[in-house]
Amino acid sequence: MSNPDSLCWLQQLWTAAFPSKIHIFEWQLLTDRLPIMDALMYRGIIAHALAGSCIFFRNFEENINHLFFQCFISYSVWLAILKCLGLEGTLHDLEVACFTQFGGFFRDKNSRMVQHYIWLSVVSSIWQ
């Protein structure tokens, strides 16, 4: 967590004007602390191997990167968001890299705050 990218997203995370509960969710997401199937299996909370599968497509392991960025469903949501914003390209499929890359689409400080709200809205909607 000591590289410059990590420090940048950590600073953005804690300085944004969100309720504490939202900050904690985002921190858990960006540090692989959410109770995703692979984490629950690792801790022995879920024992059945199939229980660790993606809720949409059983042949993929459910982990944070798959659930929020690599799964066909969530990736389609991200592409639709980019299209609605008039942006082109593909997003990185790892959580911190996606967060920093998505922020790179927006140049000024006010736009970056909007980016943060959009990014957080998308990931929290996928989670719920």
81 versus 88: which is more confidently predicted?
A: 81
Domain ranges of the chain: 19-127
Average pLDDT over residues 102-120: 75
The proportion of the chain whose per-residue pLDDT surpasses 90, expressed as a percent, equals 0
94 versus 122: which is more confidently predicted?
A: 122
**Token couple for 31:** 């540090």
pLDDT at position 13, please? 65
**In 1-128, which ranges are E strands?**
none
Nearest-angstrom CA–CA distance, 39 and 65: 12
Kindly report the backbone phi and psi dihedral angles of residue 53, in degrees, each rounded to the nearest multiple of 5, phi listed first. -85, 160
**Token couple for 30:** 């960006």
Q: What is the average pLDDT value for the chain, to the nearest integer?
A: 75
Confidence of residue 1 (pLDDT cuts 50, 70, 90): very low
